[in-house]
Every structure is written in C-alpha cells, then in structure tokens.
Amino acid sequence: MREIFLGIDLGGTEVKAAALNPAGEVLWSGRASTGVPEGREAVLSRIEGLIRRAGRAMEPAPLAAVGIAAPAVIDMDTGTLEHLSNFTAEWDNSPLRADMERRTGLPIFVLNDVRAATVAEQIWGAGRYYQDFISVAIGTGIGGGLVLNGHLYGGSRGAAGEIGHVTMAPDGLPCGCGNIGCLETVASGPAIARAARAAIERGDADLSELAESCTPTPAQVTQAAQRGSESARVILAEAGRWIGLALGNLICVLNPRAVIVGGGVAAAGDLLLDPMRVEIERRTVVFPPARGGVVVVGSPLGGAAGAMGAAGWAMRQGGAP
C-alpha cells in the first residue's frame, strides 16, 4: 500500500490541505477558514480537524506524515514558529510541531510557506527543469525561496530567500518588518492597491470604474489593465519593474537559470512578468541572453503550491521513496 502525505498551508485567512501520494497526485483536498481572532488553540483545533478529515478520506491508506507551511520564521530543528506574520502575538515562539504531534500522533514537519512553494516547484512544478532557480511569491507580502545545486538553500537559520525585505527605497515607507523601503513596500499587493487608490484620488479617469472600491484589489487592477486601462497597466508595470530590479541584484550574486513567479498577484501574468523580464535583462548585463540569461516563468501550481510543497517536504523528511 502506498503511503499518503498531507500538506497543510496555514494562511492568515484560510487553511488549505492537500493529500498526495509520492507521485504528487492530489488525492484529496480540503480547506477551512483560519479564524485568527479566535485564538491559537482554536486554529490548532481546525488544523487537527483537517488532518482527521484527510485521514478518514484516505482510509485504508495511512497518513505517513504531515507537512505544515506557515508564513513564519521557523526554527527548523524544533519546528517552533519564531514569528508568524499577520497572526496574534501568542503564536510567537510557539512549538507548532510538538503541539500538532501531540494532537495527532503523526510525524509533523514545519516549513516556511514560500520555501514550501519552492519545494513544490522543484518536485512537481516549473523548477523540475532547473538545478538553480529562485522562486518568488507575490501577494500581501513578497517571499522567496532558493534552490541551488539542486537543493533548497536555507541559510544559517532556514530563512534564506526573504527577497521582500531587500531595501529598494532607503528613505521610503515603513515595512511591517521594521525596516524602511523594503521591496514589499513598493511592489506587493497592498502597494499595487495603494498606487491605484492614489491614482483614483488624483482623478485618474482611466481608473474611475474602481472608484467605489475603497481600496482596489490587485485583481481589480489586473482586470482594469486587461480591459485596456493604461493607468492600471502602468501600476502593474511599475511593481514588475521593482521586483525585476530586486531579482536582478539577486541574479548577479547567485547566477540561477530561472525565476519562477507565484502568489496571488502573479495572476496578472505578463502584465507583471514582462516588465520584470525587461528590468532583469537590463540589470544583469553580466549574464546576457546570448550566454544563457535567465528564464522568468509563472508558477504552474498556483494557489496549491504551498500545501503541495508542505506534503513534499514531509515526504522528503519522512524518507519517502
């Protein structure tokens, strides 16, 4: 009997789960709202409920291990969350792995959510074709993961890849991390929404259709651009240019073969990716296209990447075939 691995993607609004066999086929998936304001114990109970539902759905095959991806800095040795973005303070320094092992009796492996998506790209997604790639997730924040020489690179404390917090504007806006002018402050989903709001307040006729929306979402900005709004196109292009600039710096240091772009904002597709490609090419003169260059591709896994990668991580740690 083949064993089943469950991946959980713990997000600020939703918990997603996917049960995979070692071939990467999604055999079951489920979701629940996170309910952060209800407190940590309630959220842990909800995760436990998803694990039990998956276990029942997969019977008689056993769940071999569970991977949990969280938007957190994680102590990889102990499975402790050091800091969890957009959750209450009671989550800081909490032993997620130990708590969930006690609740479920299953082996639990914990990983940062964007690193998990990177693992999914490496095993089943666009990263299958590359030994060296950067994955970047653009959503409410901007995260990244590095695969170097075929291995997920964690850095000294498992936190390598925080591209959202490289400084782009030394005198810019404050970032949630405490720094000023991080990439996240100029190019994330909220930055795109803020730029759209500012354009509307300037009386931009091109975006007037979004004016009733207090803060237009990146998806609305993308739709406006697709309908032909030049202002919306420029806002997405500007975000893409900033991300390309940050990636260009990283590419000069790491010389990857590919950049894989996921996260909710990546649904803008080439409206975002083409300006990124232009800026990367402009800033990586040392690696010209004639000598290989860098491929920039959208993630084929989309919103499932976090949960799939968490399962893939559990599979690797659990010694799957």
User: Checking DSSP bridges between strand 72-75 and strand 133-138, what pairing results, if any?
Assistant: unpaired
Shortest CA distance to 315 belongs to which of 133, 49, 123? Answer: 123
Looking at 18, 123, 175, 237, which residue binds Zn ion (CB under 5 A)? 175
The answer to whether 177 contacts Zn ion (rule: CB under 5 A) is yes
The answer to whether 182 contacts Zn ion (rule: CB under 5 A) is yes
Shortest CA distance to 311 belongs to which of 76, 71, 41, 120? Answer: 120
- Among the listed ranges 80-88, 159-167, 195-203, 217-225, the one in contact with Zn ion (CB under 5 A) is 159-167
φ, ψ for residue 51 (rounded to 5)? -65, -40
Exposure string over 245-279, b if 16+ CB within 10 A, otherwise e:
bbbbbbbeeeebbbbbbbbbbbbbeebbbebbbeb
Looking at 165, 233, 257, 277, which residue binds Zn ion (CB under 5 A)? 165
- Among the listed ranges 45-53, 73-81, 178-186, 291-299, the one in contact with Zn ion (CB under 5 A) is 178-186
Of residues 32 and 177, the one with the C-beta less far from Zn ion: 177
State how far the alpha carbon of 312 is from the alpha carbons of 16, 118, 181, 199, 288, in Å: 15, 10, 34, 43, 34
Of residues 168 and 301, the one with the C-beta less far from Zn ion: 168
Rounded to whole angstroms, the Cα distance separating 64 from 127 reads 25
Q: How many residues bind Zn ion (CB under 5 A)?
A: 5
- Among the listed ranges 124-132, 168-176, 219-227, 258-266, the one in contact with Zn ion (CB under 5 A) is 168-176
Shortest CA distance to 11 belongs to which of 114, 128, 146, 152? Answer: 114
The answer to whether 191 contacts Zn ion (rule: CB under 5 A) is no
Looking at 179, 213, 217, 223, which residue binds Zn ion (CB under 5 A)? 179
Of residues 30 and 141, the one with the C-beta less far from Zn ion: 141
- Among the listed ranges 7-15, 116-124, 147-155, 174-182, the one in contact with Zn ion (CB under 5 A) is 174-182
Q: Which residues bind to Zn ion, rule: CB under 5 A?
A: 165, 175, 177, 179, 182
